[in-house]
A and B are shown apart, each in its own frame.
Chain A
Amino acid sequence: MIEIKDLHKSYKMGSNSLHVLKGINFTAQSGELVAIMGSSGSGKSTLLNILGMLDGADNGAYILDGVPIKDLTETKAAQYRNKFLGFIFQSFNLINYKSALENVALPLYYQKVGRKERQVKALNYLERVGLKEWATHLPSELSGGQKQRVAIARAMAAEPKVLLADEPTGALDSKTSYEVMDLIQKINDEGNTILVVTHEEDIAHMCKRIVHLKDGVIVEDKKIEQVRAEQYV
C-alpha cells in the first residue's frame, strides 16, 4: 500500500540547513495499523506530512497504492489527497461554523458528490462513530472526544486508501483517548490501513506495529501484540 525508498528531507533555517529525514525506507501493507513513534524533532511529523502530500521530499521515492507521488501540482495533490488519504488531526480541525454532519460531508463535497447523497453518506459515517444524534450540532457543542470522532468520521467519509492520524489522542484525557483508539482499532479491523503518529507508549501499543524514529532514521521497526482499547473503555 505504502512504499518509501531512501527518503530525504531537509529544511532551510536561515543560512543553516536542517537535515530532518536521512534516508527512510518503509513499507506498509494494506490493512496495517502502524504507530510511528519518536521524540520531538525525530522527524515523525515531517514523515507524516510527506506521506500526506502536504510537503514534498527532497530525494527518494514514495509510491502510494501503486501510484508514484512525485512533482505534484497543487491541483493534482488536492485530487490525490481527496482520493487516497484521510486526515485525523490532534486539534480536530473541524470547521467551527459547520455542523457535525456538514463537516463530515465536506470531503464528499470536494469529490463532487451530490448534495443528497452526501448527507446520507455523512450521516451513515456519523452513525458508525456513534454520533448520529449529534449530527446538527456545531463543534463548539461537542466534547473533545466527540469532536475527534466527528473528525474520524470525516476522514473516513471519502473512503480513502490510508488514514493518517497525527497525535489523534494528544489533546484528550486517557479515558477519551482509549475510546478514540477503540474506534481506530475497529476501523482497522474492517481492513483500513491506518498510520498513527504518537509519542505515547500505551497508544502505540494499541497498534499492530511500531516504527521508532530517531534523528531522521528508523531505529526500530517491530510487529507487536495488539492491546485492545476496548477493555479500558
Chain B
Amino acid sequence: MFDRDIWQEIFHTLKNNKLRTFLTGFSVGWAIFILVMLLASVNGMQNGFTNQFNDDATNSIFIRPGTTSKAYAGFEAGRRIQFKNEDLDYIKNSFPEDVEYISARYFSNTTARYKSETGSYSVQGVHPDHQAIEKTIVVNGRYINNADIVNKAKVAVIGRKVSEDLFGQEDPIGKFVEFNNLPFRVVGVFTDDGDDNAERRIYAPVSTYQRIYGNTNIINQILLTYNPSYDLTKALEFSGRLEDLMKRRHKVSPLDQAGVNVWNYAEAFDDISSFSAVLNAISIGVGFLILVAGIVGIGNIMVFTIKERTKEIGVRKALGAMPKQIINLVLLESTFITALSGFIGLIFAWIILSLLGPAIDTPAFSNPSVSLSTVVTATIILIVAGVLAGLIPAIKAANVKPIVALSDK
C-alpha cells in the first residue's frame, strides 16, 4: 500500500487523465458536500429549537386556567376557571416531593415614568421561585424575595431595556419609578437570553399587585419545575397527576383540554428530539443515495480505464504480475480518487459552514455545523465507497488473460 511505485503509477494515470479524474471526483465530492450540508442544516434546525426553549428551565410545567368546553358535574360548558393563591399552596402541599420551584404569575400592564422618561411595559407579579423557573439572570441588584411577598413591598426588578429606556446611563438601583402613578423602588436589573422583548418586562411581587388591583387573590398562571432527577416517563406521569388534580379541584371534565391546560416542556422536547432524529435519518438517506450515484460513476470510469489498459495489464501479467497486485493497483486508484474528492467536498462544506454558520441565527435555524463524529463517519464511508467502486473493475482487471497482450497481430 505504501509502495512508491504503485503511487507513482496512480499519480501518473490521474495526471494523464485530468478532466476524467476531475469529472468523476466531482460527483463524489458533490455528494459528500450535500451530505454534510444536509446534516448541518438539521443540526441548525435543532439548535434553533433548543435556543427557543433554553430560555426557560427544560423541566418546567405551565398550568393555565381557561374556559370549560364541556358540561361537567352539574356545570354548563363555557364556565371561566380562575386560579387563586390557594391553588398554588395546594399544589405545593400536595406534591412536596415532585415540585422543585413554584411561582404564580399575575399579568398586568403599566405606564412607567422616571423623571421625564415614560414607557409602557408588561408587569408580571411573581414569586421568588420565578427566577429559577425562567432562568432570569439578575445583572444588578437582586430579585424579588420572600420578604417582598410578605410585606407586599412596592419593589420592581426591571429588564435591561427598561433600564436603558428610563434611566439611560444612570444606575437604577434604589431609584423610584412610578407605575401608573404609584412609586416602586427598583431593586434589580435582569437580562434574558430569550429575546429583546423579555427584557422589556418588569417583575414585581405577586402579592403587591394583587393588593393594588382590588385586593384579589386571583393568579393568572402557575408555573413550576419538577424534580430535575425525573426522566421523561416520570415527568409525564407527574404532569398527568397534576392535571387530574387541578381538574378535579375546579370541577373540569378530565377530557376537557380547554378548562385547565397543563403544558409540560418535556413533552415538547421529546417531540422535537424525535422530529430531528427523523430529519437526520432522512438527510443521511438522501446524502447516501447521492453518494451511491457518485460511487457508480467512479466504478464506471474505472471499468473504462481497465478496458483501455487491458493490453498493459496483460503485459504486466506476462512479466509476472500476480492477480493480487493488479487488484491492489485498481483498488488503490479508486479509493484514492474517492477519498481525495470526498475530502475536498468535505472541506468545502466545512469552510462554508464555518464562514456562514455563526452568522445564521434565526429562531428556527441557528449556527448550522457538523460534529467531529460526522466528519469521521463521512471519511469511513468514503474509503469504503472507494473500495466498493473499485471492486468490480479490479476483479475484471485481475481476470484479464495475458494472452490478450500476445494476440495483437
Contact = CB atoms under 8 A, between A and B. Distances in A.
A75 B318 contact: no
Nearest to B402: A54
Contacts of B406: 45, 48-49, 52, 54, 87, 89, 166
15 contacts: A75-B322, A78-B321, A78-B322, A78-B323, A87-B318, A87-B406, A89-B315, A93-B311, A93-B318, A93-B408, A95-B312, A110-B320, A110-B322, A158-B320, A170-B409
A118 to B, nearest CB: 9
A81 interface: yes
Given A89-B408, A90-B408, A52 B318 contact: yes
A83 B319 CA distance: 9
Contact of B319 (A45, A55, A90, A106): A106
Given A89-B406, A95-B315, A54 B401 contact: yes
A82 B407 contact: no
Scoring A52, A74, A75, A170 by chain B CB atoms within 10 A of each residue's CB, the highest score goes to: A74
A107 B398 contact: no
Contacts of B318: 52, 54, 81, 87, 93
A166 B403 CA distance: 12
B324 A45 contact: no
A226 interface: no
Q: Which of B16, B318, B321, B408 has the most CB of A within 10 A?
A: B318
Given A49-B403, A95-B312, A97-B12, A81 B319 contact: yes
A90 B4 contact: no
Contacts of B402: 54, 81
A53 to B, nearest CB: 9
Contact of B409 (A78, A87, A90, A95): A90
A8 interface: no
Interface string A164-202: 001100100000000000000000000000000000000
A106 B403 contact: no
Question: Lowest 4 A-B CB distances belong to which pairs?
Answer: A82-B320, A110-B320, A78-B322, A54-B403
Given A93-B405, A97-B12, A74 B398 contact: yes
A74 B315 contact: no
Q: Which size class do A's interface residues fall under?
A: 20 to 34
Interface of A: 45, 48-49, 52, 54-55, 74-75, 78-79, 81-83, 87, 89-91, 93, 95, 97, 106-107, 109-111, 115, 154, 158, 166-167, 170
B398 A91 contact: no
Nearest to B312: A95
Nearest to B325: A110
Interface in B370-409: 398, 401-403, 405-409
Contacts of B315: 89, 93, 95
B142 interface: no
Nearest to B399: A74
A153 to B, nearest CB: 13
Interface in B318-338: 318-325
B5 interface: yes
A222 B317 CA distance: 33
B84 interface: no
A95 B313 CA distance: 10
A76 to B, nearest CB: 9
A110 B319 contact: yes
B22 to A, nearest CB: 19
B152 interface: no
A95 B401 CA distance: 17
A85 to B, nearest CB: 8
Contacts of B317: 78, 81
Given A54-B406, A75-B322, A78-B323, 11 more contacts: A54-B318, A55-B403, A75-B323, A87-B319, A93-B311, A93-B405, A93-B408, A106-B316, A111-B320, A154-B319, A166-B406
A75 B317 CA distance: 10
Contacts of A107: 319-320
